[in-house]
C-alpha cells in the first residue's frame, strides 16, 4: 500500500486549496480513505473520511461546510477540497487507508490508529492571517 499526498502550500485566510492522495498497491474500491492533520505541539486530528465502495463521507465538526472529500476511483485518488481556510487549519495533512473492519462512521476519525494501517508522508498546509 502506498499513499502519496500533494497539493499543500501557503494560502491566505479565506482562500482554498485542494489536496490529493494518490493510492496504489491495493484494491481501491474496498478501502476507506481518511484525511488527518497535525499541528506542531497538537494531537493528530481526524478531518474527513470516505468509503470508496459507496462514497459515504464523514467530517469533523471543525471543517464541516468548508471541506469536501471526494474520490475518483478510476484514478485511485482521493481529494480534499478546502475552502474558507482559517489560520487554525494550519497543519501537516496526512491521508490514511485501510479495509474497514467495522461499520464506518465518524468514530473512524477519532480512532485513527485503530482503523487506519497505512499512511502517507504528509503535506504541509499553512494559512496566513
Instruction: Express each pLDDT in 24-67 by its tens digit.
Output: 998 888 999 999 999 999 999 999 999 998 999 999 999 999 99
Confidence of residue 91 (pLDDT cuts 50, 70, 90): very high
Collapsing DSSP to helix, strand or coil, 87 comes out as helix
Residues 6+ apart with CB under 8 A from 70: 50, 78, 79, 81
Q: How deeply is 65 buried, as exposed, middle or buried, from its count of CB atoms within 10 A (0-12, 13-18, 19+)? A: exposed
Amino acid at each position: 500500500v502506498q499513499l502519496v499526498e500533494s497539493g499543500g502550500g501557503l494560502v491566505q485566510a479565506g482562500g482554498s486549496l485542494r489536496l490529493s492522495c494518490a493510492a496504489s498497491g491495493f484494491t481501491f474500491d474496498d478501502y476507506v480513505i481518511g484525511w488527518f492533520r497535525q499541528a506542531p505541539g497538537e494531537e493528530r486530528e481526524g478531518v474527513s473520511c470516505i468509503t470508496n465502495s459507496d462514497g459515504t463521507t464523514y467530517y469533523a465538526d471543525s471543517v464541516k461546510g468548508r471541506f469536501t472529500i471526494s474520490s475518483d476511483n478510476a484514478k485511485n485518488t482521493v481529494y480534499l477540497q478546502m475552502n474558507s481556510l482559517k489560520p487554525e487549519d494550519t497543519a501537516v495533512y496526512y491521508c490514511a487507508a485501510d479495509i474497514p473492519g467495522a461499520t464506518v462512521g465518524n468514530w473512524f476519525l477519532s480512532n485513527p490508529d485503530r482503523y487506519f494501517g497505512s499512511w502517507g508522508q504528509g503535506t504541509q498546509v499553512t494559512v496566513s492571517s
